[in-house]
Structure 1
Amino acid sequence: MAFSLLLVALIIGHLLADFYWQPMSWVNDRNSRHFKATKLYFHVLVHGVTSAIIISAWEYTYGWQQISSVVIATAVIMLSHYAIDIAKSYSSKGVVPFLLDQLAHIAVIIYLSVWLSDNTHFLDTLYSLVTNPNVLWVVCGYLIILSPSAVFIRMMLERLTGNFSSKGSLVLAGQSIGMLERVLMLSFILLDQFAGVGFLLAAKSVFRFGDLSASKDKKLTEYVMLGTLLSVSVTLFVGLMVKYLIH
């Protein structure tokens, strides 16, 4: 319980300091001036103060009540946050750098939580989870329904419909919607919530009905139907295979 409490408290502190207590002007200053940005040092200080308060309260209640542990952990959080944010400021502004940035911060927090609480059980649990064949089959299923399935569905549509494409839509929007759709469907299947699959298809049909009715284009209707049915078929097959291999 002590480890979980420290971990979730530090994560909440990180979220507050990184997203709620950091004005956009600080972010812009860091991205434009990098290590010369004064606001970056304010941001790191906010993280340091927040973390120090959390760690001090936890150390006094559950830890060894050593001020040195508080100082070391706070310093690690501040220095690592500074280094990670500087690296991000030189990267391209996109989803991948954002995710890597947040994962790096969370990894530091997990490491410090394990060290402060001396919780080796967490590492053992994490190792057993990573080496669990059932978990790996689930990961494999999600990997299959993302990019490989998108390639397969695109090839099948090209074969069945020629070079027909839906004009006027956002670039890669259809592929992204399809991926999200398959992720949700696979999640419902693995959780034995097949009603969720039906709800998802019904919701998609409602949103698509207006577009298809307005277009009066039979080829577009057939294209959308083929894409949806292929996506559902692939996800059902992968989901049922994963469930079979797990059990």
Structure 2
Amino acid sequence: MAFSLLLVALIIGHLLADFYWQPMSWVNDRNTRHFKAKKLYYHVLVHGVTSALIITLWEYTFGWQQLSSVFLATSIIVISHYFIDIAKSYSNKGVVPFLFDQIAHIIIIIAISIWLTDNLQFTNSVMALLTNSKALWVIAGYLIILNPSAVFIRMMLERITNHFSSDGSLPLAGQSIGMLERVLMLTFILLDQFAGLGFLIAAKSVFRFGDLSASKDKKLTEYVMLGTLLSVSVTLFVGLGINYLIS
């Protein structure tokens, strides 16, 4: 309980300091001036004060009331946050650098929480996940419905429609939409919420109805219907298979 409490408190503090207490002017200043940006130091200071308050409160409530631990943990968070943000400022500002930035911060927070609580709760939880066949089947299911399913559906559509493709759409938009809808569908199936699955399919049909009814190209209508039905079929097959294997 102590580990979970400290971990979630530090994560909340990180989210507040990174997304709610950091104006865009600070972000722009960091991305423009990098390590010379004064606003970067303000941002790191906000993180330091927030983390110090959380760690102090936890240390004097559940810990060993050691001020040195508070100082060292806060210093690690502040220094690591500074260098991680500096590295991000030199990136292309895309989604991948953003994800790596946040993952790096969370890893530091997890490590600090493990060290301060001095227990094996996190390690035991990870080992329990890695040795739990049900959890591994679920992970495998999500991995299957992402890129492997996208490749399979694209190959099937190319074979059936003779390499027909719709012009005027955003690059990779169809593939991204398909991945997102399969993730949602698989989640509904694993939760035995088939009503949500029906709602998702109906909602997509409503959104696409205008485009298809306005289109004079019968091939486009057939292409979209085939893609949707293939996506649903693959996800149903994977989801029902996983439910059978873990039941």
TM-score by length of 1: 0.96
Q: Residue in 2 aligned with 1:226? A: 226
Match of 1:141 in 2: 141
Deviation at 1:216, TM superposition (A): 2.9
- Aligned amino acid, residue 141 of structure 2: G
Tell me what 2:16 maps to: 16
Residue 65 of structure 2: SS of its match in structure 1? coil
Matches within 5 A, 1:209-224: 209-224=209-224
Q: How many angstroms apart in 2 are the aligned matches of 1:101 and 1:182?
A: 27
Q: Structure 2: how far apart are the matches of 1:122 and 1:211?
A: 49
Read off the aligned partner of 2:49 and give its amino acid letter: V
Deviations 1:11-51 (A, max 9, x none): 11101100111111211121222222221111111100110
Superimposed CA distance per residue, residues 86-129 of structure 1 (whole angstroms, 9 cap, x where no aligned partner): 11112221111111111111111111112111221221122221
C-alpha separation between the residues in 1 aligned to 2:246 and 2:80? Answer: 39
Matching residue of 2:59: 59
Does 2:163 align with 1:168?
no
* 1:245 matched to 2:245: yes
Q: State the shift of 1:209 in Å.
A: 0.8
For residue 198 of structure 1, report the CA deviation from its aligned partner.
0.7
Counterpart of 1:61 in 2: which secondary structure? coil
Structure 2: distance between partners of 1:246 and 1:32: 51
> Is the CA contact (8 Å cut-off) linking 2:137 and 2:242 kept in structure 1?
yes
Q: Distance in 2 between matches of 1:112 and 1:163?
A: 53
Contact kept, 8 Å, 2:146 with 2:179, in 1: the verdict is yes
Aligned to 1:7: 7
- CA distance in 1 between counterparts of 2:91 and 2:168 reads 32
30-39 or 141-150, larger mean C-alpha shift: 30-39
Letter in 2 for 1:6: L
Q: Structure 2: state its 5+ residue gaps.
A: none
Please say if 1:153 is aligned against 2:153.
yes
- Specify the code of the residue in structure 1 equivalent to 2:35: F
Which has the larger displacement, 49-58 or 22-31? 22-31
Corresponding residue for residue 101 of structure 2: 101
How far did 1:130 drift?
A: 2.4
Which residue pairs with 2:28 in the alignment? 28
Give a deviation string over 1:165-189, Cα, whole Å, max 9, x none: 1122211111110000000001111
Q: Which amino acid aligns with 2:204?
A: K
Q: Partners of 1:125 and 1:171 in 2: how far apart?
A: 40
